[in-house]
């Protein structure tokens, strides 16, 4: 069980046992590294200063994709790696990483020509080894408008359909964290690294502040990997080792509208005419649209969509579809930071999405850049380096995360997921996988929302109502009404279960209300 009670035991272990590896950051990068390291036999701890996936890993476009636009930047190696990883990640969690056909409309006056697109998509499929039945199909103008009648027709000259995958980034991250835990890692949320400890100028551990229990303790670790995403440079500064390359943060915003305001039939990737491409992705009762790409230097703890961001996306939609979207139609939004590596003279959109590893003289290993999709290969590279440098004398396994399913018990194929969905609601199956069966059984004696909460508290280390509504269920983004109606019963259940005081309930309620307000307010 990966529960609130387990958390207390895990904290005790962090305080008393020496670790081979401490991973800082519970986003997808840190989670992937913890799973890779633990499964190879390294005694591994992971600390996350907020909740798992609090950072960029809950604020992406939520696609497991090869990055079609990186072909334009001639990043063939990156496209090959992340493109090939799509099928692997789908196989590891078929209920959560779902095949999604993407429509790419082609225009007379903007974007690429048909021949270049046809060749580019062929190359994309070839680099990623896409199965023949899933390879790109070019469409005529008539076929494109039939596939998406909402497209404004005047400028369309044709289109293409190609294969990608859709996921829920925060759920993918928590599944990797849980899998790391099943493989003996010790992952804990709400634990901040506030300092490093040294012997002979080499890192030997870190000071941790446990914000859930208001305590401070030290952890001993032979090696430390800094996978803190947008905060990577802060930790390098703490280690006095921020030299040479540095991070360049860019903000990406998504807006959410009710499906009836933009009833697209399928996911679309369209050219805005200013050199940028935007996704419109239907999901259950909403459509979400994104993203932007602008330089960012404000607070990393509270990243928000501005009025300009929202207006830009609304205008992009209205010039592409027969829609009359306004900023007031937006019911929710999210904004995330890309932790990219700075390259002199390059604009936000031109910066490479490749990951890079930095090593300090004190032995701090930092990793930044990369994509959600490529988390497994990034983790393999980092753990290979850790083993080569510090554990050469140990008999450790080679990376085998491509064959460690991300749920237990899981599904062996997407076909099995489809069969399972005949018995249970699709939303639950895509969120909880086979655990849906137990949740639905429990819902016979309580409200379904509370049965979901019970599961998340017992098996997904939910210790705050925001963990549940934002990162375990995505309600803030995809079903804001359910969140608004569920606040009081969820707070009551958590109060009863975790022994919260009235003050604590008040703070949690305010936090939830602020999240709802801020996700729909643009300044």
Residues binding ligand FAD (CB under 6 A): 24-30, 47-50, 54-57, 59-63, 65, 192-193, 227-231, 235, 252, 291, 336-339, 370-373
Nearer to ligand FAD by Cβ, of 203 and 435: the residue is: 203
Q: What are the beta bridge partners of residue 365? A: 225, 359
**Residue 51 Cβ vs ligand FAD, minimum distance, rounded to whole Å:** 8
**Residue 434 Cβ vs ligand FAD, minimum distance, rounded to whole Å:** 25
Separation CA 227–CA 25 (nearest Å): 5
Nearer to ligand FAD by Cβ, of 47 and 310: the residue is: 47
CB 267 within 8 A of CB 281: yes
Residues 6+ apart with CB under 8 A from 202: 362, 363
Nearer to ligand FAD by Cβ, of 50 and 242: the residue is: 50
Report the candidate in 39, 54, 382 with the shortest Cα–Cα distance to residue 226: 382
**Residue 253 Cβ vs ligand FAD, minimum distance, rounded to whole Å:** 7
DSSP sequence for 73-135: TT-HHHHHHHHHHHHHHHHH-TTTSEEEEEEEEEESSSS--HHHHHHHHHHHHHHHT--GGGS
Separation CA 423–CA 148 (nearest Å): 31
CB 14 within 8 A of CB 186: yes
**Residue 452 Cβ vs ligand FAD, minimum distance, rounded to whole Å:** 23
DSSP state of 345: T
Nearer to ligand FAD by Cβ, of 50 and 377: the residue is: 50
**Residue 339 Cβ vs ligand FAD, minimum distance, rounded to whole Å:** 6
DSSP, collapsed to helix, strand or coil, labels residue 24 as strand
Nearer to ligand FAD by Cβ, of 474 and 486: the residue is: 474
Nearer to ligand FAD by Cβ, of 211 and 447: the residue is: 211
Classify residue 474 as left (phi > 0), alpha (psi -120 to 50) or beta: left
Please state, as a whole number, how many other Cβ atoms lie within 10 Å of the Cβ of residue 150: 16
**Residue 300 Cβ vs ligand FAD, minimum distance, rounded to whole Å:** 8
**Residue 1 Cβ vs ligand FAD, minimum distance, rounded to whole Å:** 23
Nearer to ligand FAD by Cβ, of 60 and 401: the residue is: 60
CB 230 within 8 A of CB 337: yes
């Amino acid at each position: 069980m990966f529960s609130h009670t387990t958390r207390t035991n895990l904290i005790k272990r962090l305080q008393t046992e020496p670790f081979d590896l401490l991973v800082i950051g519970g986003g997808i990068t840190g989670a992937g590294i913890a799973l890779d390291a633990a499964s190879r036999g390294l005694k591994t701890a992971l600390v996350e200063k907020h909740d798992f996936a609090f950072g960029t890993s809950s604020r992406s476009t939520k696609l497991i994709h090869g990055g079609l636009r990186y072909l334009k930047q001639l990043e063939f190696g990156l496209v090959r790696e992340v493109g090939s990883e799509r099928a692997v990640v789908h196989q590891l969690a078929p209920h959560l990483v779902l095949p999604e056909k993407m429509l790419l409309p082609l225009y007379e006056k903007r974007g690429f020509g048909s021949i270049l697109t046809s060749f580019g998509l062929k190359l994309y499929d070839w680099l990623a080894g896409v199965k023949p039945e899933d390879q790109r199909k070019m469409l005529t103008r008539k076929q494109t408008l039939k596939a998406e009648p909402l497209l404004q027709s005047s400028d369309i000259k044709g289109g293409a359909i190609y294969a990608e995958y859709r996921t829920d980034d925060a759920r993918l991250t928590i599944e990797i964290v849980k899998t790391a835990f099943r493989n003996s890692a010790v992952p804990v949320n709400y634990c901040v690294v506030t300092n490093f400890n040294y012997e002979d100028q080499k890192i030997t551990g870190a000071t941790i502040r446990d914000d859930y229990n208001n305590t401070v303790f030290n952890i001993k670790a032979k090696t430390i990997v800094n996978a803190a995403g947008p905060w990577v440079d802060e930790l390098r500064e703490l280690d006095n080792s921020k030299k040479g390359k540095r991070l360049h943060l860019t903000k990406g915003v998504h807006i959410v509208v009710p499906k009836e305001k933009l009833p697209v039939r399928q996911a679309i990737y369209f050219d805005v005419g200013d050199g940028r491409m935007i996704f419109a992705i239907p999901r259950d009762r909403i459509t979400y649209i994104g993203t932007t790409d602008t330089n960012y230097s404000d607070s990393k703890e509270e990243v928000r969509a501005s009025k300009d961001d929202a207006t830009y996306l609304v205008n992009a939609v209205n010039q592409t579809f027969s829609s009359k979207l306004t900023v007031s139609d937006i019911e929710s939004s999210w904004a995330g930071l890309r932790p990219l590596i700075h390259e002199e003279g390059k604009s936000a959109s031109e910066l490479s999405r490749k990951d890079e590893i930095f090593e300090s003289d004190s032995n701090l290993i930092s990793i930044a850049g990369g994509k959600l999709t490529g988390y497994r290969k990034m983790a393999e590279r980092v753990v290979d380096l850790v083993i080569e440098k510090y554990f050469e004398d140990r008999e450790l396994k080679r990376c085998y995360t491509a064959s460690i399913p991300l749920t237990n018990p899981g599904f062996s194929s997407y076909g099995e997921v489809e069969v399972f969905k005949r018995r249970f609601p699709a939303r639950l199956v895509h969120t909880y996988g086979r655990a849906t069966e137990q949740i639905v059984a429990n819902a016979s004696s309580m409200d379904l929302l509370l049965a979901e909460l019970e599961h998340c508290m017992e098996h997904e280390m939910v210790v705050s109502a925001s963990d549940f509504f934002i990162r375990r269920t995505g309600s803030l983004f995809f079903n804001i009404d359910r969140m608004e109606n569920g606040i009081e019963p969820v707070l009551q259940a958590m109060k009863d279960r975790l022994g919260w005081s009235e003050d604590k309930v008040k703070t949690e309620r305010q936090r939830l209300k602020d999240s709802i307000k801020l996700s729909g307010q643009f300044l």
